[in-house]
Amino acid sequence: MWHAGERAVQARTGQQERADHTGRSIGRTVPPVAAEFLTARRTLVVGAADAEGRLWATQLAGPAGFVRAADAHTLTVAARPVPGDPLAGVLAGPAEVGTIALDAAGRRRMRLNGRSAPDGPGGLRITADQVYANCPKYIQRRTPADAPAPAGPAVPSAAPADRLTLRQQLAVANADTFFIATAGPDGRVDASHRGGFPGFVEATAPDQLRWPEYPGNSMFMTLGNLELSPAAGLLLPDWETGGALLISGRAAVDWSDPAAPAVTCTVLRVVELAHATALTWTDPEYSPANPAPGRRGTPTAAPPAAR
């Protein structure tokens, strides 16, 4: 079930037994309850590698029903990345993908990893290899709403760069959520969620990000992948506008305190999309599981003002 990187991290943290217990929930089929969950979703995060081997994570959106379980082994998605998205060309052909469907309003999420292929002129068909639900920790409660249509076509707001602008660094500092794509030794991609109070992820330099790894389900799929390969793709949604900041880089885990690891990511490529999705979201209600800023384990109440 586990590859060598995942097993190494589980052993380092003393979580092998718990990981084996939690890992029993991983399947290769979409159960009926998961199929019902997917049908109600408005967004789907997708991670994949580009032709140069860089990993990216992006967000697809549509009306409820745009994501469906066609059968117990297959997911259909009636959307593809917008023009200018680094994965637009990738997902026009077959690709290994990791996906995560997030119900921010209900603090629920599930992951489905597998093989994607084009489905018609603007859709995807994903054959599942791994299907599993995640705990509700660190999800900020939000409700989506349809945004006004942009005046022009969706294009990058600036040319791709190899470092963050000051404005982008401030966006990182204000982020309470991001998604990360990593890949295992067999090239299979996984997409995961990270959340906390604003400031939990920081830009320590124009080409450096750092964040703590809060306790989770002990499977360590993300850190296990990073144990063997540093490639990582980050997606930071702009919940107010429907825009997105996409970052591809190389991540390393600081294990100086095995009970509280932290990740440093060197930025290699940055793409900012002004209109990544046609959704905006309400202000967040912060998760009660979020550790206080600067701390890694003890939840605290949300700050008085959400945004």
**Cα–Cα distance between 274 and 70 in angstroms, integer?**
32
Segments of the chain with pLDDT less than 70: 149-159, 294-307
pTM of the predicted protein model: 0.93
Q: Where are the domains of the chain?
A: 4-136+156-281
CA–CA dist 213, 261 (Å, integer):
6
pLDDT digits over 191-243, tens only? Answer: 999 999 999 999 999 999 999 999 888 889 999 999 999 999 999 999 999 99
CATH of 4-136+156-281, one of 3.40.50.300, 3.40.920.10, 2.30.110.10, 2.102.10.10: 2.30.110.10
The Cα–Cα gap between 181 and 68 comes to 22
